[in-house]
Every structure is written in C-alpha cells, then in structure tokens.
Structure 1
Amino acid sequence: MRRVEHVMGFPVSLRVDDEEIPDRAVDAVFAWLRAVDARFSPFRADSEVCRLDRGEVTRPSDDLREVLGLCEEYRLATGGAFDARRPGRGLDPCAVVKGWSVQRAAGLLTAAGVRRFCLNAGGDVVVAGGPWRVGVRHPEDADRLCAVLSVTDAAVATSARYERGDHLVDARTGAPATGLLSLTVVAPTLTEADPVATAAFVLGPEGVTWAAAREGCEVFAVDAAHRVLRTPGLPVAATDRAASDGVAADRSAA
C-alpha cells in the first residue's frame, strides 16, 4: 500500500509492505498529522501555538507542553543557537513538531500491528522492519545521491540549504547558518533525529561533533568546503561503502 498527502506544507508518503493493512490505522496517521498542523502551526492565527504566543492560552495542552519542553532541551544543549523563540519573531516550534508528530504517527501504525512500513515526511523518514535503503541527497545536485543508508527500525532526518536557502538561523547571532551544506542524522526515533539535525546544522561544523556525541545518533554531513564528515557507525548500505570512516573523513561530496 502506498499513500501520499500534502500535510504541514510538504508531501507525506506512507508505504506499508504488510500483507494485511488496517485501513483505519492509515487513515489515523494522516488525520493526526492534519490535526497537528491545525494545532501547532505558527502560520495559522487560530492555532494553539499562535494563541499561546498572543497570551490567549494560559494552560497549554499536554502535547504542546511536551513540544515546548523539547524546544527548551535543545536550546540549552546548544547554548541558545537553537531557539523556538527568536527576537522579532513569534513562537515557532516547527523544528521539533515535525519529527515529534511523525514519530507519533508511526506509533499509531505500530500499535495497530503494522510491522513493516516507511513513513516519509518531506524527506525525513521513519521506518519499521527492514532493512530499508534511504538515500541522502547530494546538497548541490537534486538528481544525485551522496550516500545510501541501510536502516531498520530507525529514523533519518536531514537539514540543508538546498530547498529553502539560508533559512536556518543561529539564534545567538541572528545570522544564517552557512558552515554546512547538509547534515543527516540517523537515530532511534524521528523525535530525536529531526531536531538534532536542525540544531547541529545551526551550530555549523562543530555541530557534527555535538550530534555525534548524543546517544544513539550517527551523522553524515557535507561542509561548505565539500568535505564529508561522518561517524564510524553510520549504517551505510553495502553498495555504498566507498566512503572512508571517521568523523573527520576528508572526501568530496561529488
């Protein structure tokens, strides 16, 4: 079964390889993501996030408190480089909401007994079963890959400049993060992989080491000098083992 919908501003695709597929669980995935968009979007004036930011909500929902707690965790862990509240802008927890909500959606499938699936939300992926092959897009050529990963029961998230330009900002300085071209994180859940990738990208080259030090995280990055930086435990597919190992491997992304 394959299904694609446009939710939260990007395409979300679900592939299920089980022989028996519970339609209600699949419907619940997309219903949940649509509800998240309505509740947590900083672009909807009636969302809970916007109403909280305007002071119209004094007691956030349990879900929003969880999201804000994660935002604060990464703000502290990055010394303020990652921050859902930047000067001159309203509350924007999107960097946490995406991974958190998609992982929760994956949990709905698992709870319904789905054993093998791939849930892809705008390029960030959660898989169950496996192994699944996940391509890492070349940061300067949309038609090429610079790595192929082999993942089982895990998540993969990428932060990069190639889709939206210099949209990721170091909240400490207000300047765009330009030290890396792309950074991919493999982690047990997308709740971890997505914000870690964003936070590490904002930190720049030092963010590779920062992300690699987090438990369960493996990293693949391409810096502004086109060097590949990767952790030794990165689950590279058998057909893509030409890259050398090590966090500071020096190899062209081409």
Structure 2
Amino acid sequence: MRRVEHVMGFPVSLRVDDDHVREAAADAVFAWLREVDARFSPFRSDSEVCRLDRGERPTVSAELREVLDLCEDYRLATGGAFDARLPGRGLDPGAVVKGWSVQRASGLLRAAGARRFCLNAGGDVIVAGGPWRVGVRHPEQADRLCTVLEIADGAVATSARYERGDHIVDGRTGRPATGLLGVTVVAPTLTEADAVATAAFAMGAEGVEWAAAREGCEVFAVDAARRVFRTPGLPVAAESPRRGAQV
C-alpha cells in the first residue's frame, strides 16, 4: 500500500509492505494529521493554538498540553535557544508538533497490524521492519547526498536552511541561527529526532555536541565552515561515505 497526500504544508508519503493492512489504516493516518493541522497550526486563526495565544481558551486539551510541556522541556534543555514563544511572534509549537504527530500516526499503523512501513513527512522519516535506507541531502547541492543511513526501526529528522531559508531562530538572541548548514538526528522516535534536530540547529555549532549527548540520539551535521561531524554510532550504510570528524 502506498499513499501520498499534502498535509500541514508538506508532502506526506506512506508505504506499508504488509498485505493484510487495509486502506483504512492509511485513512486513519491522514485523518489524524489533518486534525493536527486544524488544531495546532499557528497559521489558522480558529486553531486551538491561536485561540490559546489570544487568551480565548481557559483550558488546554491534553494533546496540546503534552506538546507545550515538550516545548518547555527543550527550552530549558537548550538554555532558551529552542523556544515556542519567540519575541514579537505568536505561539508556535510547530517544531514539536510535526514529529509528535507523525510518531502518533505510526502508532495507528502498528495498531492496525503494520510491521514493515515507511512514513515520510516532508523529509522526516519513521521506519519499521527494516532495514530501510534513508538518504541525507547535501545542504547546498539538491542533487547530492551527504550520506545514506541504514535503519531497521526508528526515526530520522533533519533541520537545515535549504528548504525554507533562515527560518529557525535562536531564542537567546532573536536572530536566525546560522552556525550550521544542516543537522540530522537518528532517534527511537520522531518526536525526539525532530525536536532535537531543530533545537540543535537553533543552538548553532554547540548544538552538535548537545544533540550527541542526548540518550539514544546519533547525529550527522555540517557546520557553516562546511566541516562534517558524525557520532560514532551513526548507522551509516556500508557503501556510504564515512569521512568526517566524530563528536
């Protein structure tokens, strides 16, 4: 089963290799992601996030509370570099919402009996039942890969400047983060991989070692000086280039 839909502003592709899994499982995945977009988007005036930011909601749903608690955890862990409430901007928990919601979507697939699948949300990926190969795009050359990862079960997320420019802001300075060209994180869940990649990018060069120290995380990064860093446990495919300093 294969399905591609445009949700939350980016393409989401689903591949399930289990013949017994019905189309209803894919329907549930995309219905959930559309619900998340409607409820948590900072760009929809009627979303729960925007209504909370305007003070129109006296209570917060359990799902949004979970997301906001994760945002606060990462704000504290990064000394304020990662912040869902940047000065002059409205509440935007999107850096957590994407990975969190897609991770939950993978839970719907598992509940439907899926054992081998790949769920790709705008380049951030959850795989199960591998091995699967996941390419890491070169941060400056769209037709090249920096490396190829081989993963059986887990998640990969990348934060970089090549798609949306200087869109990640260092909450400590209020200015765009420019110390890294790209950072990729491999983790057990996309909730962790996506948030850690964004937080590390916001921190700049110091974010590489910070991310590498997170339990269960492996890191591949390219800094503004074009130096390449990777953790010793990064699951690089056999024929993929392995050059670069270890952190």
TM-score by shorter chain over 0.5: yes
What's the CA shift for 1:244?
4.8
Task: Give the letter for the 1:120 counterpart.
Answer: N
Contact 1:13 1:121 in 2 (8 A): yes
| Mapped pair 1:128 → 2:128 | yes
Task: Give the letter for the 2:239 counterpart.
Answer: T
Q: SS state of the match for residue 183, structure 1? A: strand
What's the CA shift for 1:23?
1.4
Task: Give the letter for the 1:205 counterpart.
Answer: A
Contact 1:232 1:245 in 2 (8 A): no
Task: Give the letter for the 1:15 counterpart.
Answer: R
Judge which range, 234-243 or 222-231, deviates more. Answer: 234-243
| Mapped pair 1:237 → 2:237 | yes
| Mapped pair 1:158 → 2:161 | no
Give deviations 1:177-205, integer Å, cap 9, x for gaps: 00100000000000000010000001111
Return closer, same or farther for 1:244/1:229 CA change in 2, 3 Å cut-off. Answer: closer
Q: SS state of the match for residue 58, structure 1? A: coil
What's the CA shift for 1:243?
2.1
Task: Give the letter for the 2:230 counterpart.
Answer: R
Specify the alignment match of 2:175 in structure 1. 175
Residues 211-230 of structure 1 correspond to what in structure 2 (within 5 A)?
A: 211-230=211-230
Judge which range, 167-176 or 32-41, deviates more. Answer: 167-176
Q: SS state of the match for residue 133, structure 1? A: strand
- For 2:145 and 2:63, the matched residues in 1 are separated by 36
- For 2:4 and 2:207, the matched residues in 1 are separated by 33
Contact 1:18 1:115 in 2 (8 A): yes
Taking only the aligned residue pairs, the percentage that are identical comes to 80
* Matched pairs, number: 247
Q: SS state of the match for residue 135, structure 1? A: strand
Specify the alignment match of 2:90 in structure 1. 90
Specify the alignment match of 2:209 in structure 1. 209
Q: SS state of the match for residue 240, structure 1? A: coil
Q: SS state of the match for residue 202, structure 2? A: helix
What's the CA shift for 1:19?
2.1
Task: Give the letter for the 1:61 counterpart.
Answer: S
- For 1:165 and 1:105, the matched residues in 2 are separated by 28
Unmatched runs of 5 consecutive residues or more in structure 2 = none
Contact 1:149 1:236 in 2 (8 A): yes
Specify the alignment match of 1:66 in structure 2. 66
Give deviations 1:119-176, integer Å, cap 9, x for gaps: 0000000001101000000000111100000011100000000011111110111111
Instruction: Return the TM-score normalized by structure 2.
Output: 0.98
Judge which range, 148-157 or 233-242, deviates more. Answer: 233-242
Contact 1:161 1:182 in 2 (8 A): yes
Specify the alignment match of 1:252 in structure 2. none
Give deviations 1:9-56, integer Å, cap 9, x for gaps: 000000111122221111000000000000000000000000000111
Specify the alignment match of 1:250 in structure 2. none
Contact 2:21 2:112 in 1 (8 A): no
Give deviations 1:65-123, integer Å, cap 9, x for gaps: 00000000000000001000011110000000000000000000011110000000000
- For 2:136 and 2:185, the matched residues in 1 are separated by 10
- For 1:32 and 1:88, the matched residues in 2 are separated by 31
Instruction: Return the TM-score normalized by structure 1.
Output: 0.96
Specify the alignment match of 2:31 in structure 1. 31
